[in-house]
Amino acid sequence: MTFAVPLWPQPSIRISGDEMRFPVRRIYCVGRNYAAHAREMGADPTREPPFFFMKPADAVVADGGTVPYPPGTSNLHHEIELVVALGSGGRDIPESEALEHVLGYAVGLDMTRRDLQNAAKKVGQPWDMSKGFDNSAPCSAIRPATSIGHPRSGTIALSVNGAVRQTGDIGDLIWSVPETIAYLSRLVELAAGDLIYTGTPEGVGPVSPGDRLEGYVETVGEIAVTII
């Protein structure tokens, strides 16, 4: 097969302890999945159905990388998140079988143009340009479930220039990982290569060029990026 323009590189991220990389197919993100963060965003954290948005696969940035401050915003926010990497997929996946599709877990940042998102919310416009911009999805190496299992609790935290900004516990996810996979698979067919950013705890806030972001999820790993 020949193509009319040069093929672009397959986006991928590292897998800890493995020479092979994880090819990224799609990036799904869950909104408002911790009660305290839902409240800080002015929403009611009652268990509303989960809702999803997406980022382009080539928005991933490796651990240790740089995130250029994006155009079109003056309020770029950090959101530290547990990321689920799927090794297989399907439709209508039962919650009881959902974890069988998880290859491993990573630590990600759902970078957000908060000013554009707030403006979009006010007038009912989509979030694509507030969430799905270039370099908006830093992601650590994946820790395989074969080595760490499926963590159900543990600290998730982010610091900026050494000062702690976000702390939470992944046990406080409103929609758990199996529930999220099951729900999402009723809306789209999931597949190997998909990443799911599971939502952020409270404490989101702005970053500036020069800032060093360091985050971790207990037992899963850590990520550090610099805003340039």
Q: Using the 8-state DSSP alphabet, how is residue 42 labeled?
A: T
> Within 13 Å, how many C-alpha atoms sit on residue 227's CB side?
21
**What is the number of the residue whose Cβ is closest to Mn ion?**
110
DSSP 94-139: -GGGGGGGEEEEEEEE--EEHHHHHHHHHHT--SHHHHS-TT-EEE
Query: Are 196 and 29 within 8 A, CB to CB?
Result: yes
Residue 29 beta carbon to Mn ion: minimum distance, rounded to whole angstroms: 5
Please identify, using beta-carbon distances, which residue of 22 and 28 lies nearer to Mn ion: 28
Please identify, using beta-carbon distances, which residue of 79 and 194 lies nearer to Mn ion: 79
Contacts of residue 66, Cβ cutoff 8 Å, sequence gap at least 6: 225, 226, 227, 228
Residue 95 beta carbon to Mn ion: minimum distance, rounded to whole angstroms: 22
Residue 197 beta carbon to Mn ion: minimum distance, rounded to whole angstroms: 6
Distance CA 40, CA 20 (A): 40
**Contacting positions for Mn ion (CB under 5 A):** 79, 110, 200
Please identify, using beta-carbon distances, which residue of 140 and 200 lies nearer to Mn ion: 200
Please identify, using beta-carbon distances, which residue of 38 and 190 lies nearer to Mn ion: 38
